[in-house]
């Protein structure tokens, strides 16, 4: 197991390094922060000084070398915009994203498994057709459009829910509900397909020959076997959420890491972009390890 983790960590490290290089050089192509942060009438001298302070005057390779050197000392630099350590800014935002992702994925997983399993048990039946259509519509809707409609109906029209912010529990309802829709639609479909395969398998036949009742056949015999492909999709969807739900964060004024990344690149706050990439990549790496662990727990044939 530990050698497996090491191998995975090594592979991820290489990907991360490549990603870091790409973001570092690409982001610097978007323009000069000095032009954005200093008034238009600022003299060339002031600009020079600004660049000097933020280490932007060195040749770009030297800048990269310095960044990596600092990174090895766990220093991710300052945020130009917030004048605070970039890491602090990112961790603050990431905490929000993490909560949002955890709550959403927990709800999605539970609901998708129960509904997908029941749909698969009577494939082609009424429940199956209704749940398939509903989940398909869910997976087809643009989330920003659902968000707008949701605000119009529930916040403006009925006045039940706040439009944006993070103050109370009620502030979470709409963002979570809207983030829920698409992964739910996808995962229900995967659960259903995987369960249909599992339910038509030979070992389910054996269980029926043993006289096992329907409910344990679905939720004990078939479900555990059907979970492997489901977990993969859950992982992909969770990773997408950990990368930040830019649209939802923007619409609901939610201070998550997705919005932070986009704002920072538009504001040429490069250190924050890089720190955000690193933090989310680390989170996704850890989550993928958990997914692999779940594989091994579910299927005794998998050993690392």
| Residues in touch with other proteins (CB under 8 A) | 11-12, 14-16, 18-19, 22-23, 26-27, 29-30, 124, 132-133, 136-137, 139-145, 148-149, 151-152, 156, 189, 200-203, 205-213, 216, 221, 224-225, 243-244, 246-247, 250, 258, 261-262, 265-266, 273, 277, 280-281, 284, 298-301
Nearest to 143 by CA among 188, 191, 182: 182
Looking at beta carbons only, is 62 or 137 nearer to other proteins?
A: 137
- Least separation in angstroms between CB 124 and other proteins: 7
DSSP 205-250: HHHHHHT--HHHIIIIIIHHHHHHHHHHHHHHHHHHHHT--HHHHH
DSSP state of 184: H
Asked if 119 and 127 touch (Cβ cutoff 8 Å), the reply is yes
- Least separation in angstroms between CB 265 and other proteins: 6
Looking at beta carbons only, is 6 or 208 nearer to other proteins?
A: 208
Looking at beta carbons only, is 49 or 291 nearer to other proteins?
A: 291
Q: What interhelical angle do 257-266 and 270-298 show, nearest 10?
A: 150
- Least separation in angstroms between CB 175 and other proteins: 16
Nearest to 88 by CA among 270, 238, 271, 242: 271
| Vertex 208: Cα angle to 203 and 211 (nearest 5) | 130
Looking at beta carbons only, is 6 or 205 nearer to other proteins?
A: 205
- Least separation in angstroms between CB 102 and other proteins: 18
Looking at beta carbons only, is 187 or 281 nearer to other proteins?
A: 281
Cα–Cα distance measured from residue 147 to residue 168, given in angstroms and rounded to the nearest whole number: 18
Nearest to 20 by CA among 285, 244, 289, 273: 273
β-sheet bridge partners, residue 85 = 78
Cα–Cα distance measured from residue 304 to residue 283, given in angstroms and rounded to the nearest whole number: 21
Looking at beta carbons only, is 10 or 69 nearer to other proteins?
A: 10
CA separation, residue 149 to residues 57, 155, 177, 178 (Å): 48, 10, 12, 11
Looking at beta carbons only, is 46 or 133 nearer to other proteins?
A: 133
Among the residues of 73-210, which ranges form H helices?
86-121, 126-140, 143-150, 170-199, 202-210
- Least separation in angstroms between CB 92 and other proteins: 18
- Least separation in angstroms between CB 141 and other proteins: 5
β-sheet bridge partners, residue 78 = 85
Looking at beta carbons only, is 169 or 280 nearer to other proteins?
A: 280
Asked if 213 and 112 touch (Cβ cutoff 8 Å), the reply is no
- Least separation in angstroms between CB 153 and other proteins: 9
- Least separation in angstroms between CB 302 and other proteins: 10
């Amino acid at each position: 197991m530990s050698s497996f983790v090491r191998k995975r960590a090594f592979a991820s490290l290489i990907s991360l390094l490549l990603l870091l290089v790409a973001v570092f050089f690409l982001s610097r192509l978007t323009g000069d922060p000095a032009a954005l942060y200093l008034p238009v009438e600022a003299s060339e001298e002031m600009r020079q000084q600004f660049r000097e302070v933020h280490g932007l005057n060195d040749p770009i390779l030297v800048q990269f070398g310095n960044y990596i050197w600092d990174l090895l000392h766990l220093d991710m630099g300052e945020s130009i915009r917030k004048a605070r350590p970039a890491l602090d800014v990112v961790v603050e935002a990431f905490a929000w994203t993490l909560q949002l992702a955890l709550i959403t994925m927990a709800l999605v997983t539970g609901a998708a498994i129960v509904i997908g399993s029941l749909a698969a048990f009577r494939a082609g039946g009424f429940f199956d057709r209704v749940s398939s259509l509903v989940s398909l519509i869910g997976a087809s809707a643009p989330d920003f459009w659902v968000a707008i409609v949701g605000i119009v109906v529930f916040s403006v029209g009925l006045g039940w829910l706040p439009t944006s912010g993070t103050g109370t529990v009620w502030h979470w309802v709409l963002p979570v509900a809207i983030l829920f829709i698409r992964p739910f639609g996808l995962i229900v479909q995967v659960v259903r397909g995987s369960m249909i395969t599992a339910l038509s398998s030979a070992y389910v036949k054996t269980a029926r020959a043993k006289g096992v009742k329907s409910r344990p056949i679905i939720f004990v015999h078939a479900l555990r076997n059907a979970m492997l492909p489901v977990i993969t999709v859950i992982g992909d969807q969770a990773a997408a959420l950990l990368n930040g739900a830019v649209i939802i964060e923007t619409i609901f004024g939610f201070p998550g890491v997705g919005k932070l990344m986009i704002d920072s690149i538009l504001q040429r706050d490069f250190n924050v972009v890089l720190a955000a990439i690193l933090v989310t990549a680390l989170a996704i790496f850890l989550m993928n390890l958990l997914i692999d662990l779940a594989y091994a727990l579910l299927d005794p044939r998998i050993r690392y």
